[in-house]
Structure 1
Amino acid sequence: MLARLFKVLPSAVALMALTSCSDGSPPSAQAIESAQVANAVAQLDALVADVLARSGIPGMAVAVVHRGKTVYAKGFGVRRLGAPDLIDVNTVFQLASLSKSVGATVVATQVGKGIVSWDTPVVKNLPWFALKDPASTAQVTVGDLYAHRSGLPDHAGDDLEDLGYDRRQVLERLRFLPVEPLRTHYAYTNFGLTAAAQSVAVASGIDWESLSDQVLYRPLGMNATSSRYADFMARSDRAYPHIRLNGVFQPGPQRQPDPQSPAGGVSSSVSDMANWMTLVLQDGKYREQQIIPGAALAPAISPQMLTMPPAAEGDSTGYYGYGFNVSVPASGSNIQLSHSGAFIMGASTSFALLPSAGTGIVVLTNALPVGAAETVSATYMDLIKLGHSSRDWFEFFEPKFDEMTAATGKFAGQPLPENPVPPLPPQAYIGTYANDYFGDAEIQQQGGDLILVMGPSKHTKTLQHWSGNVFVFEPGGEMATPGSRSAVTFAIAPGGTAQNLTIEMYEATGFGTLARR
C-alpha cells in the first residue's frame, strides 16, 4: 500500500542532488575549499533549529566531514518524546536504507580480497536462490542486485517480512514473483540486495552481521555501530521511533529489521558515520590505512543503472551505483553520492557526499519521513556549491513526503456505510486460504469478530464489515501509514461459502488473491 513511498523515497536525495544547482552553476571542485565548508557549517545550527521547528520531529543528529576530519557533529532535541534524555553525537539511530551504502562498502572489502567480485553470480554461493526466470537466476550477479537491476518487482519480499518470515524464507519465495528482463529495469528491492549480501557472507565463511563488524566497523572505530537489532536495543543512548497521528508526533512501535539487515538493519551514530564518510571520500582509506582497495570501491560509487534522466538540457543525470545514488552533472564534474533511508514506523535518514570537495554530511532523525533529513543535506550541499540555498528545501520536500506517507486504501478516511448489505453467516468465510507466495491465511472467529491470521508470526488483524462480502482492516506495521485501510473481498461459490479472498494491500504483487484449501 506504500508503493508510492517506496518507489520515490530512494530517489529523494538523488532528486535533491539533481536540482540543488538550479540557481546557477556550481564552482569548480578546486574552488570548494575550507572557507566554503566553514561558511556552510556555521549555518547548520540555525538551519537545524528551523527544520525541527517547522517539521515538529523530536530530534536529529548531524555530522560533517571535510578532508579527512570531522568538522561538525551535534545532536538536537530528545531521544524520546515525554522523556528528558537529549540526543548527542553518540546517540544511536536506526539507519534504515543508509544500510545499503554501508553494506556496499562491506562487500567492497571482500571484492578487494578477491573473495568475490561485483560480477560473481549469486547462485555460485547461494545455490538455492532463484528468480522466476531460470536464465536470470543463472546470470544475476552481486552487482546486479546491489544496483536494483535484477528484474524483481519494486520492494519484493517486504510484505513477507512484515508477516514474520525470516531472511531465508523471504529469499526463497522471491522465485514466485514475476521478473523483468535482467539489467533492463530499475526497481528498488531490499531483499534482492539482501540476497547479494548473503551470498558474499557465505563466500566469506561467516554471517553477514559478523562480517560487517570484522571488516568495517572495527577497523573504522565504529564502536556504536551494528547490523544486529539486539545490539541496537541494548544501547542505553539510543533514539526511539516516532510516528505521526493527526498531525502530532508520538512514540511508535519499534521496527525489527534483522531479516533485511544488509538493506535496512544497521544502527549507528553520527560520530561513527563520520568515520565511514571519511573512508568513502578517501577512496577506501582511513587514518592512512587502506581498508578497501580503491579499485574495489570505485564500481560501487560509479553509475551502474539509470534512475533519473535529465529533465532538461544541462541538468544532472541520476544513477544508482552499488548501494549508492550517483548524480552526474552535465559537466561531468562534482559528482555527488547520496542516499535516503526511512521506516514508516519512525526513522528517517540521509547522507550526501561531494568527493571532489572531500566533504559530506549525514543526518539522522527519530521520526517517520517528512523531508527534514533531506532538507538539511540538500541545504548543506547548496551552501558549499553556491554559497547560499537555491530554494527552501523543506517547503520543497514536505508536501512530497506528506503525499507519499498519506493513508492508503480505497476506503481510507471514509465512514462506514450507513446501509451496508448484510454479510453472510461467519461460517461462509471461516477457513484457510493460501497461495505459493504468502502461504496460508486463516479466517477465524474471535468473539463476535472475524480475524485474519497470516505468516509465521501469526500476524492478526480484526476484520470490520464494510458491505456485503467486503471487510476492511487497518494494516499497521511497516507496510502502511496510520489511518490506512485494506479491503478483504470474498468471492462466494455457488454453494454459499467463500472460495477465495482478495487482500487489497497485496494486489500489486500479483498474489493478493488466496484460494480456499
Structure 2
Amino acid sequence: MVLRHLGFGLAAFLVAATGVALAAEREPLPPAQLQKALDTLATEAKQAIADDRTPGIAIAVVHGDAVIFAEGFGVRNVLTGEPVDPDTVFQLASVSKPIGSTVISGLVGDGKLTWDTRLMDLTPGFAMQEPWVTSQVTLRDLYAHRSGLPDHAGDLLEDYGYDREAVLRRLRFQPPLTSFRSGYAYTNFGITAAAVAAASTTGMDWEALSEKRLYEPLGMTSTSSRYADFMAEPNRAAGHIRVDGKWAFVEQRQPDAQSPAGGVSSSVNDLTRWVRLLVNDGMFEGKQVIAAAPLDEAHLPVMITGYAPNGTPSFYGLGWNVGYGGDARHSISHSGAFAMGAGTTVNISLDDRLGVIVLTNGAPVGVSEALANAFMDNAILGAPRYPWREVFTGIFAQMAADGISHKFDTPPADAGPAAADMAYAGNFANEFYGPIEVVAGADGLELLIGPNRRSFRLAHFDRDTFTFATIGENASGLSGVSFALDGAGKARSVWIEAFDKSGLGTFARTP
C-alpha cells in the first residue's frame, strides 16, 4: 500500500475545517457549546473503536492555557490488549513537521539563522540538480515544499535501505518537477535537509537539538525524535495494518532517516504542552520559550495547495497547513500517516486559542481527521459542516487505491518465453538509486537492491519482463521489471516500474 502525502484535496478540507467562520466580533466560545463538543468527541471516538476503524485512539484538547480533555480509547496492541491512555506514546508521522518548524522558529529567535538562510551557507555539501537552485534554496523553500523537488523525492531510497546521509546526497540527481519556487510538492527529505542544515548551527544533531530546544523546556519527557527511544517506551502504541480483514501488528515503521519530517513520537499529554506554547505566542508557564515573531512567520501562507469545495483556498506555511475563515480567522493544522500503522492530526484555531490532537495506531483511514474536524466545527460553529467520517473515508480510500499499480498483476494469456536466465544476470546502476544486481540462481532470477543488497524474487511476466513485490511504507504492489537486450542477446539495461515515478527507473549495465 502506498499512502501519498495528504494532498491538495485533503489539505483543502483540513484548512476549511479549522479556518471556520464566526461572527465578526469573535465572541468567546460558549461554554455549553464547547462542553457539548467535548462530549460528542468522546462519543465519536468510542464509536470509532466499536466500529473497528482503528485499534487505539488518544485525544487531547487545549483551550487557552488549559488542557480541557485528555483520554485514551481502545488498545495499544491487539496482541496484548493493553489499553491506550493519555500517556501512551504514538508515532506522529508527519505531525513531526510542524514540531520541527517550532524548533527552527526557536533557532530564528535565538539569532542562529533566519527562515531565509540558504542551505549552502549552512551545509555546503548539499546540492540540488541545478547549480543555481543549489546556490539559492533556503530553509523557507524546503519547509514550504517549493524547492522544485518532486512529490516524496527520496522516500523509496529510504524504503530500500539507504540512510539519511545517502538519501540527502542523492537528491542532487533528482530532476525537478517544477521550476524553483513555482510549485508545491510535498517532500519529506526536503524538510529533512533543511532541518539538518539548521541543526548544524548548534553543534548538535537534529535529534539532540529538538530535545534541548523544545522537548526539555516544555517538560515533554515522553517525546523523542529517535526511533530507539520510542521502542524503549513501555507504554507505546504498536502500528497496525489490516491482514485478512483484521487489525494485526506486522512491523513497526522505522523513520529515523526522515526524523525531522516523520520521526517524532509522543503522547497527547506531552503534545498539549506544545499546543499551549503555540496558542500563547511562544509562552509556556510564564517563560518565553520560543520568540513570537518567528513562530508567527511559520504560521503564515507561503504556497497555495488547493481549494475546498466552497472555493476557500488552502495554503502551506512553514511545516503547517494554514487557513483563514470568512472573517480571516487564522488556523493551522497538519496530519500524519504511516501506511504501516499511524494516523495523526493536530488542528488549532489560533484566534480561539483552541487546539485538538488525535493520535491513532492503525493504517490511516481518516479517523483522526474526522474526529478532529468534527470537534472543531462543533466547538466553534455548534454543528459539523460536512459529514466528516464519509468525507475522509473516501479521501483515504482513494489515496490508498491510487498508490497501488495493477499493470503487472496478471501475465497476458499469450505471454512469450523469456531468454535464458544468464541473459539478464549482471550489475546495473543509475546515479539516484545506485547499483542493483540481477543474479541467476538455481531457483530463478533474484534482484538485489540497496546498500544491504536486499533480495527480491523475479517472477516471469512476458518475454523480457518480470515482476517483484515492492516493500516498505511506499509499497505499490507488483512492480514490472523489463530488460532491454543488445544484439548479442544480453541485457544492456533494466527498467523498474516502481522506481520510475519521476523518470529514474532505468539502470544501465555496469562492468
Tell me the TM-score normalised to structure 2 length: 0.95
Tell me by how many angstroms 1:12 deviates. 2.6
Q: Give 2:392's aligned amino acid.
A: F
Structure 1's 408 and 235: CA in aligned 2 closer, same or farther, altered over 3 A?
A: same
Alignment of 1:49-128 (within 5 A): 49-128=46-125
Is contact 1:431-1:444 (8 Å) kept? Answer: yes
1:349 is matched with which residue?
344
DSSP-derived class of the 2:436 partner: strand
CA contact (8 A) 1:151 1:185 kept: yes
Deviations 1:118-143 (A, max 9, x none): 01001101000011111111111111
The answer to whether the aligner puts 1:475 opposite 2:470 as a matched pair is: yes
**Match among 295, 298, 301 for residue 296 of structure 2:** 298
Give the SS at the match of 2:184: coil
Structure 1 equivalent of residue 219 of structure 2: 221
Unpaired stretches in structure 1, ≥5 consecutive residues: none
Residue of structure 2 in register with 1:326 after alignment:
322
Counterpart residue number, 1:400: 395
Q: How does 1:205-220 map to 2 (within 5 A)?
A: 205-220=203-218
Instruction: Look up the match of 2:459.
Output: 464
Find the residue that maps to 1:254 and give its secondary structure: coil
Structure 2 residues without counterparts, runs of 5 or longer:
none
Corresponding residue for 1:491? 484
Contact preservation (8 Å) 1:27, 1:386:
no
Match of 1:157 among 147, 154, 157: 154
Counterpart of 1:96 in structure 2: which amino acid? Answer: A
Partner of 1:178 in structure 2?
A: 175
Q: Does 1:192 align with 2:190?
A: yes
1:51–1:394 contact (8 Å) kept in structure 2: no
Do the aligned residues in 2 keep the contact of 1:10 with 1:340 (CA within 8 Å)?
A: no
Query: Which amino acid letter does the alignment assign opposite residue 122 of structure 2?
Result: N
Alpha-carbon distance between aligned partners in 2 of 1:372 and 1:120, rounded to the nearest angstrom: 38
Q: Which residue of structure 1 lines up, in the alignment, with residue 273 of structure 2?
A: 275
What SS does structure 2 have at the residue aligned with 1:178? Answer: coil
Letter in 2 for 1:43: T
DSSP-derived class of the 1:219 partner: helix
1:409–1:504 CA contact under 8 A, matched in 2: no
Q: Which moved more, 1:214-223 or 1:39-48?
A: 39-48
Match for residue 425 of structure 1 among 420, 424, 430: 420
Paired residues of 2:9 and 2:307 also in contact (CA < 8 A):
no
* Count of aligned residue pairs for this structure pair: 507
3-state secondary structure, aligned to 1:263? helix
Q: Aligned pair in 2 of structure 1 residues 20, 294: CA closer, same or farther (>3 Å)?
A: closer
Give 1:78 deviation, angstroms: 0.8
Q: CA deviation at 1:456?
A: 1.1
Partner of residue 440, structure 1: 435
Pair 1:339-2:334 in alignment = yes
Q: What amino acid is the match of 2:505?
A: G
Q: Return the alpha-carbon distance in structure 2 between the equivalents of residues 148 and 53 of structure 1.
A: 38
CA RMSD for the aligned pairs? 1.8
Q: Per the alignment, in what secondary structure is the counterpart of residue 183 of structure 1?
A: coil
**Deviation for aligned residue 1:245:** 3.2
Superposed CA deviations along residues 436-463 of structure 1, whole A, max 9, x for unmatched, are 1111011113441311111113232211
What's the CA shift string for 1:16-57, capped at 9, x where partnerless? 3325789xx534532425333222112122111222333531
User: CA 1:61 to 1:13, structure 2 compared with 1: closer, same or farther past 3 Å?
Assistant: farther
Give TM-score, length-normalised by structure 1: 0.94
In the alignment, is the contact (CA less than 8 A) between 2:159 and 2:471 conserved in 1? no
Secondary structure in 1 matching 2:51: helix
Is 1:240–2:238 an aligned residue pair?
yes
C-alpha distance in 1 between matches for 2:19 and 2:188: 30
- Secondary structure of 2:158's aligned partner: helix
Residues 463, 191 of structure 1: CA spacing in aligned structure 2 closer, same or farther, 3 A cutoff?
A: same
Q: Judging changes above 3 Å, is the alpha-carbon distance between structure 1 residues 233 and 37 closer, same or farther for their aligned structure 2 residues?
A: same
Partner of 1:388: 383
Post-superposition Cα deviations, 1:52-94, rounded to whole Å, max 9, x if no partner, equal: 3335311111110101111111111111112121111111111
Aligned to 2:200: 202
TM-superposed deviation, 1:249: 2.1
Residues 449-504 of structure 1 show CA distances to partners (whole Å, capped at 9, x for unaligned) of 311111113232211111111111111211125xx111111111111111111111
Instruction: List aligned pairs for 1:26-65, cutoff 5 A.
Output: 26-28=22-24, 29-65=26-62
1:144-178 per-position Cα deviation (integer Å, ceiling 9, x unaligned): 11111111111111111111111111111111111
Q: CA deviation at 1:255?
A: 1.0
